[in-house]
């Protein structure tokens, strides 16, 4: 049987699952064949890059596939029943009550026009029928308390009035209100800062232990999977390529793809010269049909890897791999990981020469003009030198994005002094057209979601040409400049003919960086630019940023909640907490010997691939 079976009788069982999307005259494969089992009280992880089929598998299990997507083969069984044979009415009785579902973005689960307490009431068994309004409200408050929300007023708030972490807690409370036997969690903590992520994952483990739930955790972060899961399934381009106990998969990967994901992780304890990312991107399953799906990106591929789809076979007790060469290359796969562990850290960066490019003194920002409101920035002072890479870290709500938007002129500070390359963008100062143009040539911003900052109706080349013409009207050959920009971020010139929807997340982020570079700025501000990307794509983009910083002398303000990532890209770091800078200094010193308790809390919250991280 092509599966790592759980020890106990499965609560959930998937056999030979194939998922396709309807197209014009033909269907496109999303998942080609998947076997999976989950025992009661067990946690299994499904990992892989975007495009591997993880989320569609989750949606198939709970009967929520999009209208054009369907299961064309296979079986999904829960409690002895075939879920694929259910009518929608039968699904409604099972979904939520027996099978819970938590998505990455709680906004997609929570009705925006219903108060949180009401959302939970509607998720209670039989929607709380036979009970009074007061009893239902009391039970919704109990459910909120179960997920760590003790403020009863939250029941009377709308989802948009809550932080991301609070919304996710409400979504979990609604998902478990009917006490399901199995919970499917699709990237439940990816968009959250490290401390909130740890809280949410710890909450899931506690709820699972208290209720004896089975948990299927979908994530692209292997550190999270190893800390949370008993067993892990690795998906690639719709194929199951490896499955094993979590501890064994972490210590002894038996497929080149899993190995590639592991060595893409940035080390927490040091900065290295270059991260090792998997080249290329996940292909469409149909494009690699009839051969090893990973062959085009594999460093150990041979012509034999193109001769048919390799079967999933047992290569060690309860350890499956779909690599026909695994016994030959197993020893070689261990070497890169050893080299990573032994790699010498980079020496500390030299301090920048000359005066600061950016200087902030007692910068304060209060929204809505209310002086009694807690400030987003409470009088912070900081500097960024010419060609210097500086990090800004802290939880959501700490003021990071407000500071970044103030730098590029998207927010006006309430008081204090903020000067960017001689241009005052302080409170009360009005920028004339000349200063606004100078500011835009000095500093450019790259946002977290590149798709939302690119016009989906325009080609990449068109978007880049527009920036070139706007900032360099004398440019004689904008098309050549576009090709040069794409090449500078490691993308082929022919990508100029494509629209953003065709590109992967990592490619779109590279396009966003190319657009910012078109202005030839002195400083790039990155606001969580990698949080939505897979580990391998993160490594590729981080290497690109390191090269641009080294070769062009561009300064960076890098905003992130991932301290392992910030260590790889910045020289100095500022730690923000509730609008205040609580610690600053060289990044290696701050992360190795933190002085402030809040910084220590952030460091302790960095995901680590062991179960003790969540104890």
Distance CA 354, CA 219 (A): 45
Distance CA 391, CA 567 (A): 9
Q: Output the pLDDT for position 13.
A: 96
State whether 138 and 222 are in the same domain: yes
Together in a domain, 227 and 142: yes
Q: Within 10 A of 108 (CB to CB), how many other CB atoms are there?
A: 8
Residue 401, in any domain of the structure: yes
Residue 536 has pLDDT above 90, yes or no: no
Q: Which of 307, 342, 377 is the last residue of a domain?
A: 342
pLDDT, mean of residues 150-168: 88
Q: Does residue 190 form part of some domain?
A: yes
**pLDDT range class, residue 160, cuts 50, 70, 90:** confident
pLDDT at res. 563: 84
Q: Identify how many contiguous H helices and E strands the chain contains and give both numbers.
A: 19, 23
Range in 251-265, 282-296, 599-613 the model is least confident about: 599-613
Give yes or no for residue 398 having a pLDDT over 50: yes
Mind listing the pLDDT tens digit for each residue in 293-303?
Answer: 999 999 999 99
Say whether pLDDT at 332 is over 80.
yes
Cα Rg of the chain (Å, integer): 25
Task: Please provide residue 363's backbone torsions phi and psi, each rounded to the nearest 5 degrees.
Answer: -75, 125
H or E, element range at 382: strand 377-385
Whether the Cβ atoms of residue 280 and residue 297 lie closer than 8 Å to each other? yes
Q: What does the block give as tokens for 12?
A: 């959930």
Task: Band the pLDDT of 1: cuts 50, 70, 90.
Answer: very low
Query: What is the pLDDT averaged over residues 584-589?
Result: 94
pLDDT band for position 314 (50/70/90)? Answer: very high
Return the structure tokens found at 129.
């029928």
What percent of the chain stands above pLDDT 90?
50
Q: Is the model's pLDDT at 570 over the cut of 80? A: yes
Q: Are 105 and 157 members of one domain?
A: yes
Mean local confidence (pLDDT), 85-110: 85
The 3-state DSSP class for residue 281 equals coil
pLDDT at 273 (0 to 100): 81
Rounded Cα gap, residues 125 and 485, in angstroms:
57
Contact 145, 154 (CB under 8 A): no
Q: How many domains does the chain have?
A: 3
Shared domain check, 83 and 197: yes
Say what the pLDDT of residue 338 is: 56
Q: Are 524 and 554 in contact (CB under 8 A)?
A: yes
Instruction: Report d(CA 30, CA 22) in Å as an integer.
Output: 10
At 129 the pLDDT is 62
pLDDT of 106 over the 70 cut: yes
pLDDT bin (cut points 50, 70, 90) of residue 372 is low
pLDDT at 433: 82
Question: In the predicted model, what is the mean pLDDT of the chain?
Answer: 88
For residue 317, give every residue at least 6 positions away whose Cβ sits within 8 Å of its Cβ, in sequence order, or none.
none
Is residue 509 assigned to a domain?
Answer: no
Q: 206-215, 428-437, 543-552: lowest mean pLDDT where?
A: 428-437
Q: List CB contacts of 215: < 8 A, sequence separation 6 or more.
A: 38, 42, 43, 44, 182, 183, 185, 204, 208, 228
In a domain, 488, yes or no: no
Contacts of 7 (CB under 8 A, 6+ apart): 39
Task: CATH number of the domain at 589, please.
Answer: 3.40.50.300
Which has the higher per-residue pLDDT, 194 or 241?
241
Q: Is 52 exposed, middle or buried (0-12, 13-18, 19+ CB in 10 A)?
A: buried
Residue that terminates a domain, selected from 236, 251, 277: 236
- Whether 110 and 167 have beta carbons less than 8 Å apart is answered as yes
Position 475 in a domain? no
Rounded distance between C-alpha atoms, residue 390 and residue 399, angstroms? 16
Nearest to 575 by CA among 382, 400, 375, 394: 394
Q: Are residues 201 and 148 in the same domain?
A: yes
Q: Residue 48: which pLDDT band, with cuts at 50, 70 and 90?
A: very high
Say yes or no to pLDDT of 462 above 90. Answer: yes
Report residue 252 CA to chain centroid gap: 25
In a domain, 380, yes or no: yes
- Residues 68 and 200 occupy one common structural domain: yes
Same domain, 123 and 83: yes
Q: How far is CA 371 from CA 367, 381, 510, in A?
A: 9, 20, 40
- Are residues 220 and 365 located together in one domain of the fold? no
The SS3 of residue 165 is helix
- Please give the share of the chain, as a percent, with pLDDT higher than 70: 93
Continuous H helices in 306-379:
326-342
Do 580 and 536 fall into the same domain?
yes
Q: How confident is the model at residue 62 (pLDDT cuts 50, 70, 90)?
A: very high
pLDDT value at residue 274: 83
**Least confident interval from 70-74, 316-320, 502-506, 593-597:** 502-506
Model confidence at 127, in pLDDT bands (50, 70, 90)?
Answer: low
Residue 337's pLDDT band (cuts 50, 70, 90): low
Dist CA 424 CA 530 (whole Å): 30
- The contacts of residue 406 (CB under 8 Å, 6+ apart) are 363, 365, 377, 412, 413, 418, 425
State how far the Cα of 68 lies from the Cα of 52, in Å rounded to an integer: 18
Backbone angles phi, psi at 361, to 5 degrees: -130, 120
> Would you put residue 297 in left (φ > 0), alpha (ψ -120 to 50) or beta?
alpha
How far, in Å, CA of 73 to CA of 58, rounded?
16
- Whether the CB-CB separation of 532 and 448 falls below 8 Å is answered with yes
Per-residue H/E/C for 480-547: HHHHHHHHHCCCCHHHHHCCHHHCCHHHHHHHHHHHHHCCCCCEEEEECCCCCCCHHHHHHHHHHHHH
Residue 130, pLDDT above cutoff 90? no
- Do 83 and 42 share a structural domain? yes
Contact 522, 422 (CB under 8 A): no
| Domain around 83 | 10-236
| Domain membership flag for residue 492 | no
Beta-carbon count within 10 A of 578 CB = 16
pTM for the predicted model, two decimal places: 0.87
- Can you read off the two tokens belonging to residue 18? 């194939």
pLDDT-derived band at 6 (thresholds 50, 70, 90) equals low
Grouping H, G, I as helix, E, B as strand and the rest as coil, residue 216 is strand
Instruction: State whether 72 and 156 are in the same domain.
Output: yes
Is the domain of 550 the same as that of 436?
Answer: yes
Look at residue 615 and tell me if it is in a domain.
no
Residue for token pair 């000067």 = 419
Residue 295 near residue 324, CB atoms below 8 Å? no
């Amino acid at each position: 049987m092509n599966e790592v079976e759980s020890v106990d009788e499965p609560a959930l069982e998937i056999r030979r699952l194939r998922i396709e999307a309807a197209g014009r005259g033909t269907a496109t494969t999303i998942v080609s064949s998947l076997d999976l089992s989950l025992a009661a009280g067990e946690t299994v992880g499904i990992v892989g890059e975007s495009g591997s089929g993880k989320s569609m598998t989750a949606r198939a299990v709970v009967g929520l596939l999009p209208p054009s997507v369907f299961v064309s083969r296979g079986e999904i069984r829960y409690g002895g029943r075939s879920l694929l044979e259910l009518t929608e009415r039968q699904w409604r009785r099972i979904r939520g009550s027996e099978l819970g579902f938590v998505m990455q973005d709680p906004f997609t689960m929570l009705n925006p026009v219903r108060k949180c307490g009401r959302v939970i009431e509607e998720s209670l068994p039989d929607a709380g029928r036979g009970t009074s309004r007061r009893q239902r409200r009391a039970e919704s408050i109990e459910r909120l308390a179960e997920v760590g929300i003790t403020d009863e007023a939250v029941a009377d708030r709308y989802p948009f009035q809550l932080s991301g972490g609070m919304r996710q807690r409400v979504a979990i409370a609604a998902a478990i209100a009917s006490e399901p036997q199995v919970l499917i969690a699709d990237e439940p903590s990816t968009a959250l800062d490290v401390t909130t992520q740890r809280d949410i994952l710890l909450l899931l483990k506690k709820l699972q232990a208290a209720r004896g739930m089975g948990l299927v955790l979908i994530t692209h972060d292997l550190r999270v999977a190893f800390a949370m899961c008993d067993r892990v399934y690795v998906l690639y381009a719709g194929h199951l390529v490896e499955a094993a106990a979590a501890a064994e998969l972490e210590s002894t990967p038996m497929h080149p793809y899993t190995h590639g994901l592991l060595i893409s992780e940035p080390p927490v304890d040091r900065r290295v010269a270059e991260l090792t990312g998997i080249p290329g991107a996940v292909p469409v399953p149909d494009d690699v049909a009839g051969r090893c799906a990973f062959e085009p990106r594999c460093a150990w591929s041979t012509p034999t890897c193109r001769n048919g789809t390799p079967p999933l076979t047992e290569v060690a007790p309860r350890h499956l791999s779909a690599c026909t060469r695994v016994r030959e290359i197993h020893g070689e796969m261990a070497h890169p990981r050893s080299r990573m562990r032994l790699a010498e850290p980079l020496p500390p960066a030299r301090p920048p020469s000359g005066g600061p490019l950016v200087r902030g003194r007692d910068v304060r920002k209060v929204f809505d003009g209310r002086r009694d409101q807690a400030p987003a920035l409470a009088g912070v002072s900081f500097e960024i030198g010419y060609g210097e890479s500086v990090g800004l870290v802290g939880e959501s709500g700490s003021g990071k994005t407000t500071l970044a938007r103030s730098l590029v002129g998207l927010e006006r500070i309430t008081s204090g002094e903020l000067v960017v390359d001689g241009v005052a963008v302080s409170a009360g100062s009005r920028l004339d057209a000349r200063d606004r143009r100078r500011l835009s040539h000095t500093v450019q911003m790259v946002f977290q979601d590149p798709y939302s900052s690119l016009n989906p109706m325009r080609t990449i080349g068109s978007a880049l040409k527009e920036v070139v013409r706007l900032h360099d009207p004398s440019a004689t050959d904008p098309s050549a400049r576009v090709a040069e920009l794409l090449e500078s971020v490691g993308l082929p010139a022919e990508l100029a003919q494509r629209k953003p929807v065709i590109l992967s997340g990592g490619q779109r982020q590279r396009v966003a960086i190319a657009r910012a570079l078109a202005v030839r700025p002195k400083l790039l501000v990155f606001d969580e630019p990698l949080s939505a990307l897979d580990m391998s794509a993160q490594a590729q983009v981080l290497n690109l940023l390191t090269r641009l910083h080294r070769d062009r002398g561009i300064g960076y303000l890098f905003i992130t909640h991932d301290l392992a990532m910030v260590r790889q890209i910045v020289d100095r770091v500022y730690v923000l907490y509730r609008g205040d800078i609580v610690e600053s200094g060289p990044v290696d010193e701050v992360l190795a010997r933190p002085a402030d308790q809040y910084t220590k809390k952030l460091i302790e919250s960095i995901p680590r691939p062991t179960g003790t991280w969540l104890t």
